[in-house]
Amino acid sequence: MDIIQPVRGTSDLLPADKAKHNHVIETAKQGAAQFGYAEMATPMFEFTEVFSRPLGASSDVVAKETYSFEDRGGTGLTLRPEGTASAMRAIISNGLTQSLPQRWFYAGPMFRYERPQKGRMRQFHQIGCELIGPASPFGDAEIIACGVHILKSLGVLEQTVLHLNTLGDSDSRQAYRTALIAYLEAYRNDLSEDSQRRLDTNPLRILDTKSASDKDILQDAPQLHRYLTPAAQTHFEAVKEALQAASIAWVDDPFLVRGLDYYSHTAFEFITDQLGAQGTVLGGGRYDGLAQSLGGPLLPAVGFAAGIERLALLGEEQAQPVPDLVLLAAEQSAEAAIFALGCQLRTDGYHVVSMLSGNMGKKMKAANKLGARFALIAGADELGRNCVSLRNMQDGTQTEVEISVLGNWLAQQR
RNA sequence: GCGGGUGUAGCUCAGUUGGUUAGAGCGCCAGUUUGUGGUACUGGAUGUCGCCGGUUCAAAUCCGGUCACUCGCCCCA
């Protein structure tokens, strides 16, 4: 078709879709609020450095996969590809490092220039929680518990499995990284093409490979947990103990990794097998190094984000609100009086929708489609007697009611 | 960025080895019902066969390109 299309990777949220999104957002917001997380919002674009600096060596990701542009003043700006960096920037630029901890919830659109797939749009939407300040392992546990609580509230928890790993502190990770590279170098030529490249760019991500032969090679690879410093080990044990005490089930996943240096300790993902390759529904972890990479102080923090589209795909359809009344003028001369009556009824708290086009048959049909409880019908006939007809759309009974007692009549029907 | 699949009515989809006027269901419109929906029956309209080009007497059908969707890879902050 030659008609105008939405931009690739974007889509309209028609009322049924938007209702599902809103349900996800409202449920998550409420769940997060029970943990003390308050909703906030950052701008949808930032200076490009907010996203490029933390990525360091991998900053070609920003170059290739963000919507970056210069504004009219020549300033480099980027549409946010995620929420965490902006949240941390907001902590620093608002001087909130003196007012910790901060518990934040946010929801909104994010932008990534990627090949679209199901549950993976170029403009997509995320909810997220960030706990900034505490270094305690109970912070990690709290964030995970908050994710569990939200997924449970949405009725999708049982469709997911919680994968858990630790990345240790930076000493642990340095030591492990060296050992892993040394081991894999011996098999360099047997690795998949992708993994050979990753061996140079981002060796930890080889653990996340989809190649079967790579997985065979990884069978005997060094394990991260053997390289944990005592402090890192203690932290992870405490997180697990807390989860266990709260009866939160997980599977240990030593191959769950993060590529960037500012991550540390806990990493987790709630994964489903029902969305194809886009299996991660909610993911997060500790990112103690992020604030420093943004030029701030060392600031412990842990958080998660979840894709609203994916949660909506797993969740149920949401019912649209049903009007209490629909208004039908039998003839044009009655429209103004009916209009005024409708406005009064809305003031009284009723959900009232006008049927504006077509003959009586059409209006009734439209009213029926909306699922309205009552049709309020009036023509010169009724109005001459200061009355309106009220038709019960369920059983088809119709009664004439004096306008002066309409409020009482409706109240009795509740 | 790379590879596979798909694109026909508003929606879900048929359409044979290329062949004359491109179909079904749902939805939509009209009527049975001149101030009244749902159910039923009757009738009606659906359309640049994604787009551009090529092969052919002839293309929805075959070929090439392109765009979009989709599945997977890369990436996943």
Q: What's the pLDDT tens digit per position in A70-82?
A: 999 999 999 999 9
pLDDT in tens, A49-66: 999 998 876 667 777 889
Same domain, yes or no: A350 and A281: no
> What confidence score (pLDDT) does residue A152 get?
97
Quote the percentage of chain A above a pLDDT of 90: 79
In a domain, A380, yes or no: yes
A331 in the same domain as A308:
no
Q: Examine the pLDDT at A4 and tell me if it is beyond 90.
A: no
State whether A116 and A244 are in the same domain: yes
- In a domain, residue A266? The reply is yes
Band of the pLDDT at A2, cuts 50, 70, 90? very low
Q: Is A189 inside any structural domain?
A: no
| pLDDT at residue A414 is higher than 90 | no
Whether A399 and A252 share a structural domain? no
Pair A291, A373 in one domain: no
Same domain, A279 and A388: no
Straight-line distance from CA A3 to C1' B56, in Å?
31
Query: DSSP secondary structure string, A103-161?
Result: EEEEEEEEE-----BTTB-SEEEEEEEEEES--SHHHHHHHHHHHHHHHHHTT-GGG-E
Range of the structural domain that residue A368 is part of = 325-413
Residue at a domain's end among A256, A279, A314: A314
A157: exposed, middle or buried (C-beta count within 10 Å: 0-12, 13-18, 19+)? buried
Q: What is the pLDDT of residue A261?
A: 83
Q: Tens of pLDDT along A154-176?
A: 999 999 999 999 999 989 999 99
The gap between A52 CA and B47 C1' (Å) is 50
Q: Is the CB of A396 under 7 A from strand B?
A: yes
The verdict on residue A78 lying in a domain is yes
Average of per-residue pLDDT across A106-118: 91
**pLDDT score of A277:** 80
pLDDT at A86 (0 to 100): 97
Domain count of the fold of chain A? 2
A224-248 residues labelled b (16+ CB within 10 A) or e (exposed): bbebbeeebeebbeebbebbeeeeb
A 245-284 residues, CB < 7 A, strand B: 258-260, 276-278, 283
Of A314, A345, A374, which residue constitutes the final position of a domain?
Answer: A314
Distance A1 CA to B8 C1' (A): 11
**How many Å from the CA of A118 to C1' of B66?**
23
Q: Separation of CA A339 and C1' B6 in angstroms?
A: 49
Dump pLDDT digits (tens) for A87-105. Answer: 999 999 999 999 999 999 9
CATH number of the domain at A355, please: 3.40.50.800
Q: What pLDDT, on the 0 to 100 scale, is given for residue A58?
A: 64
As a whole number, mean pLDDT of residues A12-26 equals 92
Question: Is A84 (CB) below 7 Å from strand B?
Answer: yes
Q: Are residues A282 and A354 in the same domain?
A: no
Question: Closest nucleotide (CA of A60 to C1')?
Answer: B75
According to DSSP, the β-strands at A102-111 and A38-39 are parallel
Q: Which residues of A90-101 are buried (b: 16+ CB within 10 A; e: fewer)?
A: bbeeeebeeeeb
Q: Residue range A121-128: average pLDDT?
A: 95
Nucleotide minimizing C1' to CA distance for residue A365? B37
Instruction: Report which listed range, A136-150, A160-174, A374-388, is most confident.
Output: A136-150
A235 and A355: one domain?
A: no
Alpha-carbon span A378 to A176, nearest angstrom: 79
- Across the range A271-294, mean pLDDT stands at 92
One domain, residues A120 and A242: yes
Domain at A104, CATH number: 3.30.930.10
Dump pLDDT digits (tens) for A342-351. Answer: 999 999 999 9
Domain end, chosen from A247, A282, A314, is at: A314
Question: Does some domain include residue A223?
Answer: no
Amino acid at A215: K
A136 and A115 together in one domain: yes
Give the mean model confidence (pLDDT) for residues A42-47. Answer: 96
Residues 6+ apart with CB under 8 A from A36: A103
Do A287 and A337 reside in the same domain of the chain? no
pLDDT for res A1: 36
Are A267 and A160 contained in the same domain? Answer: yes
A188 touches strand B (CB under 7 A): no
Q: Which of residues 282-341 of A touch strand B (CB under 7 A)?
A: 283, 330
The pLDDT, as a whole number, for residue A7 is: 86
Q: What is the pLDDT of residue A315?
A: 87
